[in-house]
């Protein structure tokens, strides 16, 4: 599948968590390690950057305005005008060696985000997956996770997908949108480590699961039965995550990273850290906002 292009040449260290905002026709994403939140308007090329007080794993735009941020060990309410992040959930006691990583909202506006072991290598199975309600009450929905990553839901909201990058698995669960309960975990995809590891994901309007392949220099689309439908080669070893946006919701945006590459590898991959785009024939679905 051809047509992949550099959409934004920005060279961030660890680009992650892209979210397309239809209201603003803008792409939001983060540099987890800078750390900062960024917003890019493709129509003008304008880029805004907000420095953050700690490492960021993910975020969601809020229905009430601003954003909710999953920083190192807790959730923060963020105001774009002032640039102030105020902690609303402190999970440091449960995650002394962890940091938050990927997160996303379901279509009732609940924010799901997970933690990963971050106190050295190897990454140990100490991570958790949390569900946050609009009032910031939360429940732990998974434990024993190595590297909590991509989350998404099928178009009919009956299946939830969740990635543990370090063990090369994307799980599928039965999902009850009314209650926010996930159950009956099973393997959706098991990725051979020799081909890379599954990272961030998004789900299109036909139920195709797009997964960035960290270390594999590619992005894959899986059919709902878990078989590979499309493979998109990337000019960077570490694509990190993706979302679908654009005026017609038919542009796949892919973030990437140079974090962890040595000097020789960085020199061989001058596009690492840029944002890429690919025109699709299947539209995506708007990302829900956090209900709080």
> Which residues belong to the active site?
199
Reference 248, options 289, 274, 286; nearest CA is 286
Cα 24 to the center of its chain, rounded Å: 20
Q: What's the Cα-to-Cα distance from 43 to each of 11, 34, 74, 191, 255, rounded to whole Å?
A: 20, 25, 34, 37, 18
Distance (Å, rounded) from C-alpha 287 to C-alpha 202? 9
End-to-end CA distance of the chain: 40
Q: What's the Cα-to-Cα distance from 39 to each of 42, 50, 61, 80, 287, rounded to whole Å?
A: 10, 9, 12, 11, 15
Half-sphere exposure of 89 (CA within 13 A, CB side): 24
What order of strands is seen across the sheet that includes strand 85-90?
56-61, 67-71, 74-78, 85-90
């Amino acid at each position: 599948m051809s047509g992949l292009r550099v959409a934004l040449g920005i060279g961030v260290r660890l680009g992650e968590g892209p979210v397309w905002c239809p209201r603003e026709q803008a792409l939001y994403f983060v540099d987890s390690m800078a750390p900062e939140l960024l917003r890019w308007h493709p129509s003008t090329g304008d880029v805004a950057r907000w420095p953050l007080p700690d490492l960021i794993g993910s975020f969601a735009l809020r229905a009430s305005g601003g954003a909710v941020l999953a920083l190192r060990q807790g959730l923060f309410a963020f105001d774009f005008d002032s640039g102030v992040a105020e902690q609303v959930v402190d999970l440091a006691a449960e995650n002394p060696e962890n940091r938050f990583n990927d997160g996303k909202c379901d279509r009732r506006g609940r924010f799901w985000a997970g933690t990963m072991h971050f106190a050295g290598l190897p990454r140990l199975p100490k991570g958790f997956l949390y569900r946050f309600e609009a009032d910031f009450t939360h429940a732990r929905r998974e434990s024993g996770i190595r590297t909590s990553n991509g989350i998404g839901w099928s178009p009919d909201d009956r299946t939830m997908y969740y990635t543990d990058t370090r063990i090369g698995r994307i799980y599928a669960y039965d999902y009850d949108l009314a209650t926010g309960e996930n159950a009956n975990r099973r393997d959706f995809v098991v990725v051979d480590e020799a081909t890379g590891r599954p990272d961030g994901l998004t789900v299109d309007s036909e139920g195709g699961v797009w997964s960035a392949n960290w270390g594999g220099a590619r992005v894959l689309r899986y059919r709902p039965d878990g078989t590979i439908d499309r493979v998109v080669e990337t000019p960077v070893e570490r694509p990190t995550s993706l979302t679908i946006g654009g005026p017609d919701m038919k542009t796949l945006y892919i973030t990437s990273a140079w974090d962890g590459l040595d000097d020789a590898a960085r020199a061989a991959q001058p596009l690492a850290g840029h944002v890429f785009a690919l025109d699709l024939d299947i539209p995506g679905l708007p990302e829900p906002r956090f209900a709080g």
